[in-house]
Structure 1
Amino acid sequence: MIRFLLFLSLFFTAALHAEEKRPNILWLIAEDFGPHLGCYGAREVSTPVLDALAAKGMRFTRYYTTAPVCSASRSAFNTGMYQTTIGAHNHRSHRDDGYTLPEGVKVISQRMRDAGYFTANVKDLPPEAGFKGTGKTDWNFKEPEKPFDSSNWDDLKQHQPFYAQLNFQETHRTFHAPPHADPAKVEIPPYYPDHEVTRKDMAQYLDAATALDAKIGKVMDLLKRDGLMENTVICFMGDHGAAHVRAKQFCYEEGLNTPLIMHWPAAVPAPAGYEAGKVSDRLLMSIDLTATSLAWAGIPKPQGMQGQVFMGATAEPPREYVFGARDRCDMTVFRFRTVRDARYRYIRNFTPDRPFLQHNAYKEKQYPVWNLIKDLAAQDKLTPAQASLAAPTMPEEELYDLQEDPYEIHNLARSNQPEHRSARERLSSVLNSWIEQSNDQGRIPEAEDVARNEGRTKEAPPAKQEKGKKKKA
């Protein structure tokens, strides 16, 4: 009997210890942000906080969102499902029609709460932080009645373990950070005109990244102040790629690749696969962070979840391919699907009759280089790489050798070289299989009136927004 009671005591002590060791999990999410940090090799940007976090933690170079625009991408990584599978693929859709997630699909905060985690989408920070979180969700489905328990930072210390998101808008247009970068020294991708307009715009984006890093520093100070640094997993990432012409809303590297920096706390045993100070080139998707975060919390991967656990005892084999998709954004209808492996990116355009610079009010108003390309094209002052963006149509297929052509300038889809033909055929077949197996809802077009009204099912004019607030795409 004594032995039995001793066994029970040890059992419950171990169980309590295990409960105590469940880490807090904090996602720091930057809007419209590519890997433009010092630790990723970006010039004319000052990001000492994130650079230091990467040096102490893990930095991932091949982390991809499933969509190059916020609402579709956020719908995916908040559920661990492709937005194309759950009907959340059209930007800012299903806001007024009562659409709910398919049976069995939940947002990550619900799953965390069910497992005993306190959840927060932090907007309200202590006065010493000097800023507020955006509280952005931007999901293309009807939100659960209470997706998060709190929006207040000060609740976190009293409610552990917690799962929290903190969203930052600095790198979303319009940019408003103090000047730091020298426009003459910024790096301009060759598909953009090397022009003073481009250089000023790129410098302002990098200045926004510098301001973002300063705010991340304030968050690090709060974690230390509240004694949370030692038991909180920190994950910093972008919600999709950079706020540039060929990036946001398009399925190139610049639109889908974002930073992922992860820091594991000292007081919690690190999971298998985590190596402090390591730089990983493993192919990852944003929905994989969802599945992996659940695993850190001791939650088995839900049946049917498409994200893969990439760290810990239940880690799955590395991905050979990552996928992305873009559908209607605002009033602009495209349908792109893409897949990449370790070397090649393949893009299929289901709407090739439409120009890259198809009318989009948001881009025309907020992206000066968008209009610059049009102007220089009319004057015949673009290089071939730049002129392709002003062409009246787009290729049905694109294939890029990312090892030899990281800027994705030379389309190899029609190349006769055996290795290129082989890559195109293989990736085309993989993409076909993914479209079928994932039940891609983009095969069913939106109703014309819904597309025309930018996802609204009623003739509700945008003017109904709160005064003083402009719609952000």
Structure 2
Amino acid sequence: MQSFVKHVLLIVCFYFFTATTYAAEFPNFVFIIADDIGWNDIGCYGNRVVKTPHIDRLSAEGMQFNNAFLTASSCSPSRCSIISGKYPHSNGAAELHTPLPESEIPFPLLLKQNGYYTAHAGKWHLGNFTHRAFDRYTDNNGYNNGDGGEANWVRFLRERPKDKPFFFWLASLDAHRPWGADTFHITFDPREVEVPMYYADTEETRQDIASYYNEIARFDYYVGKVREELERQGVLENTVIIVMSDNGSPFPRCKTRVYDSGMKTPFVVYGPKKIRTGAQKTESLISAVDIAPTILELAGVNAPDSYQGTSFSAVLNDPEKEIRSEVFSEHNWHDYEAHERMVRTQKYLYVLNARPALANGGPADSKKSPTQHALNIVRDEERLTPAQADVFVTPRPAEELFDVEKDPLQLLNLASLPDYQEVLSEMRALLNNWRKETGDTTPEHLTPDWYDRETGGPLKVKRVRGTMPGQKE
């Protein structure tokens, strides 16, 4: 009997030792993604008003990427691209509210299959087929995510199994309209906000931006709570934390646009054992499709050959490293018919617009915003500046070229200037090659408008989808 008990204890000890060693050997991951927060609306990225002490601390102790770009400036296409490691037109989820197909391989599924505990809490937007990538998830699963989407973040971390490495996809609803954080923790004074030059500096615009800042502050607060919980559990030192946004802010000329105001994202990586610490900043270009292969490499898991990104793990060890010379993004249907493509290098941004006859004023929620209302008044009074007029322009150029070093806001189109024809040709070739390599198409029958382009209100039309880019007519 005693020998049997000893045998059982040895087996139990062996499995306990194996499980704890496995959990300690491989890093944990906490991936935190905001909703509609612009890249420069975070304190560590230069915003002098908004309060983001917790993200700023992660940046000060980790690495801040100053040239991280999304593949789409729309919620679900951006998130589906991140989790699939593929561009929107390549993964079958190019348009807003189209689910990721079952044929695609979400990278958390590979982590799960290789011993990781995986969980999702908060905003979803990925479709039902992606549920299989997570051991626990909140989407349509009886959970209340709360107004900002962060209600289950700390709870899920506390209730995780302690014998496995873990991956958490924590998604907020902050800072998506309508606003819900005007009385939460930090309340910003509208008189102190920064009003971009392409908006009308009015009282209603300032209050709109102040409410947006309140949402950012709430998001940052919960980032801090996640870090506190990781510290309490004693696992912070073996956890890689990534903080980013899914697209630009929900304001005119930002969300859905292919300019930096729509496609550039804040991107902070913290992880003492995996990256160089001490306020490291890198100018290296990275794309959202690079996230999946990077996390998989850090976890010791092979990425599928179908993934279209490149791991940036080398940059985490050396901020001077460069893994790519350009990034690519796209704008497809998001409330309105659209087909734009862009390529961005360190110096230039090139835009190809297949629907130049259509204005590009932003999504419906932005159309209904106080900031847009203020711009409409200035337009009706014929007082628009060139920067403010951008969201109303029609027809738009079929091609745009910007020198982003001299013109960081992308206000001056250089495509027609003789001195830039060689650059224009080079950028055009880069984009055309990428489109061919990734199977991009320009369907004749795209999904049409479902909302009014002036008011943002729903149109009385039959809501049918056209042909998505990457699919055959």
TM score, norm. by length of structure 1? 0.81
State the partner residue of 2:241: 234
Distance 2:278 2:376 in 1: 46
Corresponding residue for 1:108? Answer: 107
Q: Tell me, yes or no, if structure 1 residue 438 matches structure 2 residue 438.
A: yes
Determine helix, strand or coil for the equivalent of 2:84: coil
Matched, 1:63 2:68: yes
Shift of 1:101: 4.3
Task: Please give the secondary structure, in 2, of the residue aligned with 1:380.
Answer: coil
Q: Is the counterpart of residue 245 in structure 1 residue 249 in structure 2?
A: no
- Residue 120 of structure 2: aligned partner: 121
Q: Of 116, 140, 146, which aligns to 2:132?
A: 146
Q: How far did residue 284 of structure 1 move? A: 0.7
Partner-residue secondary structure (3-state), 2:73: coil
- Tell me the distance in 2 between the aligned counterparts of 1:115 and 1:238: 27
SS of match in other structure, 1:106: coil
Instruction: Report the counterpart of residue 428 of structure 2 in structure 1.
Output: 428
Aligned to 1:345: 349
CA 1:203 to 1:225, structure 2 compared with 1: closer, same or farther past 3 Å? same
SS where residue 243 of structure 2 aligns? strand
* AA of the residue aligned to 1:65: L
Distance 1:387 1:253 in 2: 18
Partner in structure 2 of residue 183 of structure 1: 190
1:155 aligns with 2:159: yes
1:399 aligns to 2:411 (yes or no): no
Cα shift at 1:422: 2.2
Distance verdict in 2 for CA 1:352–1:165, change over 3 Å: same
The whole-number CA distance in structure 2 between the counterparts of 1:231 and 1:183 is 40
Alignment of 1:13-32 (within 5 A): 20-32=24-36
Tell me the distance in 2 between the aligned counterparts of 1:180 and 1:313.
37
**Displacement of 1:386:** 1.2
Contact kept? 1:84, 1:442, Cα under 8 Å: no
Tell me which of 35, 42, 50 is aligned to 1:37. Answer: 42
Secondary structure at the aligned position of 2:88 is classed as coil
**Pair 1:432–1:157, CA change in 2 (3 A):** same
Verify the 8 A CA contact 2:253 2:361 in the aligned structure 1: no
Show the counterpart of 1:413.
415
Distance (whole Å) between structure 2 residues aligned to residue 375 and residue 112 of structure 1: 52
Q: Is the 8 A contact 1:60 1:282 kept in 2?
A: yes
Structure 1 residue runs of 5 or longer lacking an equivalent are 1-12, 123-133, 458-473
Looking at structure 2, the residues matched to 348 and 60 of structure 1 have their Cα atoms a distance apart, in angstroms, of 26
Distance 1:404 1:413, change over 3 A: same
Q: Deviations over 1:265-298 (max 9, x none)?
A: 4xxx426xx4542111110111111110001110
AA partner of residue 218 (structure 2): A
Quick one: percent identity of the two aligned structures? 30
- Is 1:336 the counterpart of 2:340 in the alignment? yes
The one of 57, 77, 85 equivalent to 1:80 is 85
Q: What does residue 217 of structure 2 align with?
A: 210
2:359 to 350, 355, 361: 355
Matched with 1:386 is: 388
Contact 1:92 1:454 (8 Å CA) reproduced = no
Label 1:206 to 1:162 Cα distance change in 2 as closer, same or farther (>3 A): same
Shift of 1:305: 0.8
Q: Distance in 2 between matches of 1:334 and 1:407?
A: 22
DSSP-derived class of the 2:129 partner: coil
Deviations 1:81-115 (A, max 9, x none): 1011112111112x5xxx8344xx30111111111
Q: Return the match for 1:137 from 101, 120, 124.
A: 124
**Deviation (angstroms), 1:65:** 0.9
The 1:81/1:289 distance shift into structure 2, 3 A limit, reads: same
Amino acid at match of 1:428: R
Closer, same or farther: CA 206–73 of 1 in aligned 2, 3 Å:
same
Secondary structure (helix, strand or coil) at the match of 2:329 reads: strand
Q: 1:400 to 1:456 in 2, by over 3 A?
A: closer
Distance 1:313 1:376, change over 3 A: closer
Residues 121 and 165 in structure 1, CA contact (< 8 A), matched pair in contact too: yes
1:322-333 equivalence runs, <5 A: 322-330=327-335, 332-333=336-337
CA contact (8 A) 2:19 2:164 kept: no
Deviation (angstroms), 1:69: 0.5
Change (3 A) 1:404 1:370: same
Amino acid at match of 1:345: L
Q: 1:46 to 1:425 in 2, by over 3 A?
A: same
Structure-2 separation of matches of 1:64 and 1:455: 30
What's the secondary structure of 1:258's corresponding residue?
Answer: coil
Q: Which runs of 5+ in 2 are unaligned?
A: 1-16, 138-155, 452-460, 467-473
Give, in whole Å, the separation in 2 of the partners of 1:85 and 1:428: 20
Q: Shift of residue 314 of structure 1?
A: 12
Secondary structure, aligned partner of 1:184: helix
Q: Distance in 1 between matches of 2:134 and 2:442?
A: 29
* Preserved CA contact (<8 Å) 1:234 1:264: yes
Check whether the contact 1:189–1:407 (CA below 8 A) recurs between aligned residues.
no
Q: What is the CA distance between 1:408 and its match in structure 2? A: 1.0
The answer as to 2:57 corresponding to 1:52 is yes
1:183 Cα deviation from its structure 2 partner: 2.4
* Count of residue pairs brought into register by the alignment: 416
Contact 1:364 1:370 (8 Å CA) reproduced: yes
CA deviation profile, 1:376-409 (whole Å, cap 9, x unmatched): 2121011122123222321111111111111111
